[in-house]
Every structure is written in structure tokens, then in C-alpha cells.
A and B are shown apart, each in its own frame.
Chain A
Amino acid sequence: MCLAIPGRILEIEDAETEFRQGKVDFNGVRKQVNLAFLPDAKVGEYVLVHVGIALHKIDEAEAQRTFALLRELDELDEIS
């Protein structure tokens, strides 16, 4: 649970700050993710998500690398 999972923001819903959320694509699995801690995150950007909250913006290359590693470590079960 300590390893963050990278995903790409597909859409962002309008909501007050703490409830700001969006749909994030984790290499095919789509989930609602809270975006309150990344107020400048935009659709199309990649984020590192810790248990349902996006905490860091990353570039696509880093997202791909992290995703490949997590797949190898069998750490992706929790989002499926």
C-alpha cells in the first residue's frame, strides 16, 4: 500500500476543494481519484496516486517506468 500507482487523468469533476475528484486511467483500469492536493492538475496529465488520492504530478516516462515495475512486483492487484 506504500507504493504509489501512476495514472492519467481522463476527466475532472467540479466540486468544492476537498471533494475535487476525477477519473484516472491506470493502464486500462479506471477509478475515481481525489485531486484536492493537486489543485493545478489537468486532464491528460500523469499523477502518482496513493490509495485514492493523487499526490504528485509526474511525466509520462516516469509513469510508464513505475507502472512496469509495479506490474513486475505484482503490486497492481489493489486497483483491479
Chain B
Amino acid sequence: MKYLDEYRDAALVQSLSAAIRSAVTRPWTLMEVCGGQTHSILKSGLEAFLPPQVSLVHGPGCPVCVTPIELIDKAVALALRPEVIFTSFGDMLRVPGSAHSLFDAKCEGADVRIVYSPLDAVRLAQSNPDRQVIFFAVGFETTAPANAMAVFQASKLGLANFSVLVAHVLVPPAMAALLESPQSRVQGFLAPGHVCTVQGYEEYVPLAERYRVPIVVTGFEPVDILEGTLLCVRQLEEGRAEVENQYSRVVRREGNVAAQRMVREVFAVSPRTWRGIGEIPQSGLQLRDAYRGFDAEERFPLSIGAVREPEVCISGLVLQGIRKPQECPAFGTACTPERPLGAPMVSSEGACAAYYLYGRRNS
């Protein structure tokens, strides 16, 4: 475990913490985009190592949280069809729809199955030719290559009983939308390390230039996050707005080009609605015409009722870094991971769940 020790090294944490303290002269607000980073920050109590001038707000990088409620309702309706095997990443099952979650549908007898990979869903379709297998294709740039590959393989195999319900979203347009918002407090970003293993970080350069905002590609270890914070604070103090790569031991500038090519083969960039935030132009992916035959929304025309979000839930403001989870009146009382009102309380990447799981321990 020497590698682990190196990255949890208390002395290293202290020296990075001291370096941030000596670099900072004014208040700065940084956003970590990825929910995995949020959980790491809360779990390790990292905010205690930051000076009071530096505040971290938590971003929208939680696919479970931003998948629109309409698509949860559609997923539930599809799952309840008798011929359907509805497959999904496990995180999506307890996300509340207007009335039901996929877990509720499963309890009512729907054939809902958790898969680790969309490619497992393709194999399930091959072995169940008399059933319709649908995969809930959610996620950011990290899951897009696997979801694109699943559709591509199904097409090559001529599978008529496989389709996807697509809810794909992209990180850079969401960052731009946050910066455009008059309520935005974000002055620098810690960009999501694993998203950048796929996409690289060229696409962040125009954002940094246009909005004069530093963007530091950052890993997930406590030491990574402190180092990313230090690089970001130094840029802000020096008046620079550049893209830097803290996570260079994993992330390369160009990303994985073959994976990007497959995503472009199957998907086209499209507008997407983000739960709690609203529609963001060119912020998601949809199937290209050549693969439209694999679109579950086209194969099974659906009419769902009007959608309903709980009025008390402030998840949209939490996802934009405008409010913190514990400022919600329902936090930890009417809304818990066991009975979530909003999606950020569900996921292992959601900010509300992170505060609920670790927040009380840290306070």
C-alpha cells in the first residue's frame, strides 16, 4: 500500500495546504465539476485544509442527477411493457420520477436488470431473441464510448431487439451555461479527470479564453484535489486564465482518439434538458440518423403525463453551485438516500448524498 500512503501522505496534504494559504490574498470560489471529486472532498474532510478565502462549490457532474425527469418517466413506462427487459446502471434505479422510480417498477413486476456495461445489455439481447432489451444510455463523456460501441455492435450483429433510451450530456457546454448565468459565483474550475481521459482537454481552451476562467484538469485523490486547487488559485492570483493539467499521470491532451471517433460515428451533438437546470444548447448527444433504428423512443412511441418535481427540492440550485445541500429544508429530513426527493440524494456522485453520508461526520 505504499502507493496509497504516498497519495494520502499527511505531510504532503499539509504542505499543499500551506502553499494554498500562502498563495491566496483574496476570496475565490472554485467549482469541482465531477461528483466523484465532490465525494472525495467530503469523505476526506478536505475543506478543513483550505484557507477561509477559498470556497469549493459542487458542480453538475452527476449523470444520475441531471437526467431529466421526463426520461425517468419514459424509462419507467418502457420497463413496465411485458416484452421489455429494461437494463440500466445500478445508480439510476432509485432516481425518483414524477410518480415512480425504476426500482418501484421492478417491485411491480417489471423486468429491470442492473448491468455493469451496455455491452452486457447487447449480450442479453443476443441471448433473449424473443424479448426487447432496452439500455438506459445515460452519462457524460466517460460512458459515451461504451454506449456508442453497444449501438455499433448491435448494428453489426443485426440485432432487432436491442435499443437505447439516450440521455447523454456533455461537460463543457454545462460549464459555459453556468458561467453565463447571472447567479454564477464560479471563478475557476477543477475539470473532471476521468472525462478528460476520453476527451482530452483541448475543448476547455476556448472556455478558459472566452470567460477568462482558469480550468485545471484534476484527479480524485485528496492530494490531487488540493494540488488542482493550488494551481487554480495561483492562476487567479496572477490574473491568468489557462487550461492546466494536474492529472498528467493519467490524462493526455488529445484523450483517446479512437473512442472519440466511435462516439462521433454513432452520436451527434444535440440540445439537452438538464434536470434542475433546463435546456442547454448543444449540451448532449443523440443517435445519428443511421442508428435511429436503435432509439427506444422511436421504436416504442410513448405518451407520458405531465412531469412533476417536488416543490421543496432545491436540487437545481445545488447542481449549479448556487446553494449547498444542507441549505435545503428537506435535507436529511423529508429527503434521505433511502427516500430521496431529488436525484442528488440518490447517487454515489450526487452532492446531497455526499453531504448526508459524510457531512455530519465532518462538522
Q: Which residues of A contact B (CB under 8 A)?
A: 1-4, 18-19, 31-32, 34, 36-39, 48, 50-53, 55-56, 58, 61-62, 64-66, 68-69, 72-75, 77-79
Contacts and interface: CB of A to CB of B under 8 A. Distances in A.
Interface string B98-135: 00000000000000000011111000000000000000
B100 to A, nearest CB: 22
B149 A53 contact: yes
**3 nearest CB pairs, A to B:** A52-B117, A68-B4, A53-B146
A50 B249 contact: no
B34 interface: yes
B256 A55 contact: yes
A18 B149 contact: yes
What is the predominant secondary structure among interface residues of chain A facing chain B? mixed
B275 interface: no
A73 B35 CA distance: 12
A18 B256 contact: no
A54 to B, nearest CB: 9
25 contacts: A1-B63, A1-B138, A2-B36, A2-B61, A2-B195, A4-B142, A19-B156, A34-B149, A37-B256, A37-B262, A38-B258, A39-B258, A51-B89, A52-B117, A52-B120, A53-B149, A65-B3, A65-B6, A65-B221, A68-B3, A68-B4, A69-B221, A75-B348, A78-B116, A79-B116
Contacts of A62: 3, 249-250
A16 to B, nearest CB: 9
A78 B192 CA distance: 20
Interface in B213-253: 220-221, 249-250
B148 to A, nearest CB: 9
Given A18-B152, A73-B39, A34 B258 contact: no
Specify which of A2, A53, A64 lies most central, judged by the most chain B CB atoms within 10 Å of its CB: A2
Chain B contact-residue range equals 35 or more
B153 A19 contact: yes
Given A2-B63, A37-B259, A52-B120, A64 B4 contact: yes
Nearest to A66: B220
Contacts, number: 125
Interface in B255-273: 256, 258-259, 262
Nearest to B144: A50
Given A36-B149, A37-B256, 18 more contacts: A1-B143, A1-B349, A2-B35, A2-B143, A2-B192, A2-B195, A18-B149, A18-B156, A19-B153, A34-B146, A50-B143, A51-B139, A52-B120, A53-B119, A56-B256, A62-B250, A73-B40, A78-B116
B157 to A, nearest CB: 9
Given A34-B149, A53-B145, A4 B194 contact: yes
Given A37-B258, A62-B250, A55 B145 contact: yes
Contacts of A34: 117, 119, 146, 149
- Max chain B Cβ within 10 angstroms of own Cβ: one of A62, A69, A72, A74: A69
B197 A3 contact: no
B349 A2 contact: yes
Contact of B142 (A1, A36, A38): A1
B1 interface: yes
B356 interface: no
Contact of A55 (B1, B6, B39, B197): B197
B28 interface: no
Given A1-B142, A51-B117, A55-B198, A73 B36 contact: yes
B292 interface: no
A2 B139 contact: yes
Contacts of A69: 7, 40, 220-221
B81 to A, nearest CB: 25
B118 A51 contact: yes
A5 to B, nearest CB: 10
